[in-house]
Amino acid sequence: MSQMPSKGDLTRQKLLDTAEELFGAQGYHGTSVVGITTRAMVAQGTFYIYFASKLEIYRALVRKLTHEVRFSIRQRVTNLENRLDIEREGFQAYFDYVYNNRNLYRIIREADFVDNELYINHYRTIATGYIEGLEQAMAKGQVRAIDPSTVAYCLMGIGEFMGLRWILWERRAIKEEDINALMDFIYYGIAPAMTKELARP
């Protein structure tokens, strides 16, 4: 049986949710502790029970977003066996998360300038699980044996820029035909049709 969150847990979560809203809208430097506590309707002294500074709540927020992205993908793919099915559903889970959490991009990208180590760790954390999954799929013969680290970062880059284009710039959800084109590229690459024997098993 899951335990009900305590009042302290709820207050901390409220501060994080408000920080996400303000950092996403105003950026790190445009947001203050006073702004967070005022919007959250939490006393400023209470803020410091949970976070020592604006930077600390920002770091906690980035770690929270990193966890949520990974969890959303893991939930969607947990019962799938074939790596290519996992890729499709994993991308869809990522796009759904971004569509519902559009502050993700600004907060993570700004982390490069606020705390570079935090920024790098966000991508390394996601890549670690991705690489492990690719290694397992390669061992089973489900995908070609290519350097899994290179493949992981390439696929992460594809997902990030598709999300940027459609969700942030075009302001719409990613359509099935977009996913189909993405998966066709993953299955076959950009080589001529004669190489399609490398396609999905």
> Domains (ranges, CATH) in the chain?
1-51 (1.10.10.60), 55-198 (1.10.357.10)
Q: Give the mean pLDDT of 188-196.
A: 68
pLDDT of residue 198 exceeding 80? no
Question: How do residues 121-177 score in pLDDT, each as one tens digit?
Answer: 999 999 999 999 999 999 999 999 999 999 999 999 999 999 999 999 999 999 999
pLDDT tens digit sequence for 35-73:
999 999 999 999 999 999 999 999 999 999 999 999 999
CA 72/CA 98 separation, integer angstroms:
10
- Residues above pLDDT 70, as percent of the chain: 94
The pLDDT, as a whole number, for residue 8 is: 80
Q: How far apart are the first and last CA of the chain?
A: 41
pLDDT of the residue at 189: 83
DSSP 3-state assignment of 83?
helix
Contacts of 185 (CB under 8 A, 6+ apart): 158
In angstroms, the CA 40 to CA 33 distance is 10
Mean pLDDT value across residues 80-94: 96
Residue 193's pLDDT is what? 61
- What's residue 197's pLDDT? 52
What pLDDT was estimated at residue 5? Answer: 74
Across 76-92, average pLDDT: 95
10 Å CB burial of residue 21 (0-12, 13-18, 19+) is: middle
pLDDT at 201: 47
| Residue 131 pLDDT | 97
Looking at residue 192, its pLDDT comes to 72
Residue 184, H or E segment = helix 176-188
**In whole numbers, what is the pLDDT of the chain averaged over residues?**
92
What are the structure tokens assigned to 142, written together? 């489900």
- Taking a C-beta distance cutoff of 8 angstroms, is the pair 128, 103 a contact? no
